Amino acid sequence: MAQVILPQSFLKKTMEKAREKKPVNPTDSKNIDSTVVFIDSTTVKNNTSLVDRKFYWLPTVKFMDAFEKENVKFLQNNIISYNDSLSNIALYSEIASDYIGPVRVSAGLTFAYPKSDTNTVAQQKLNRDKFLQKFSTGGGAIALNFILPLFTYNSQIFGITSSTGPRLSLDPPSFGVSGNKFANNVAMGANVQSELRGIKEVFKFTGALRIGYVSGNSAFYDALQFVGGNRKAFWLNNYTIGVNVKDIFTLSYTKFWGSGSIADKLKGYLTFTVSPEFK
């Protein structure tokens, strides 16, 4: 889930605001704006309806003014992942988000159980699994995400969004990293998120897919217990299915898969996401 750090329906409300323009008479060629799109029941009655085009390439570029007027958001995305084999919980919290031009920028923190000081083989494996869960949930103790929406489509009952961008993460030694070094990693990837909505938008069935490529420093590979030729960048992908309630609560299951160096270490996680409307 952490590889897709986006609130549910994060483009939908702003896109609706961007399309809120006064209807024009379609017979007057000077008033036709091919980028303005909606169908309104009042304009239909007055024979001044417009064509509703709900699919947009690079929506934050096309409607940049609307996104620039968005307020800075706080505590919009809070992800709790549960690993039943470890009985371990990791929490990612997006503490703030904003837009720099068309790019959504967010900063987040990830919390999990601290590492043990023991050096037994069993404890080292437990430390690795907990670090991997934390990494899968938020990317690192401190994470900075950059997201550029590629396209979006919205209808009354269905929506889909694709985006791309890097995520930069950092783990101090006291946050589960062995030794006295900071662990850092960079993840590049592309995301696709979709949702099937009820008529009243109380319940939404959600799905997400991410294809990503991750590289890090030596401390990062140490924490994952990579050895020999495996100490290199790797593919990390996931899909998520879940159900959302009122754009606030989402219960979902995330399954990861990746390239050889990490494939045997990956697990699926039950995740619970809270996206309150704090501003």
pLDDT per residue as tens digits for the range 226-248: 988 889 999 999 999 999 998 88
pLDDT of residue 204: 92
Instruction: State how far Cα 243 lies from the chain centre.
Output: 16
- Indicate the residue type of 44: V
Quick check: 45 pLDDT over 80?
A: no
Cβ(249)–Cβ(274) under 8 Å?
A: yes
Predicted confidence band at 87 (pLDDT cuts at 50, 70, 90)?
low
SS3 category, 35: coil
Summarize the confidence of residues 26-38 as an average pLDDT: 44
Sign of CA dihedral 187, 250, 150, 94: negative
Fold of 12-16+60-274: Porin (2.40.160)
Secondary structure in 3-state letters for 84-124 = CCCCEEEEEEEEEEEEECCEEEEEEEEECCCCCCCCCHHHH
Residue 31 is classified by DSSP as G
Tokens at 221, concatenated: 């590979």
Query: Which segment, 46-50, 75-79, 83-87, 128-132, is predicted with the most confidence on average?
Result: 128-132
DSSP H helix total and E strand total for the chain: 7, 11
Ranges of H-type helices in the chain? 12-18, 41-45, 59-62, 64-68, 121-138, 218-223, 260-263
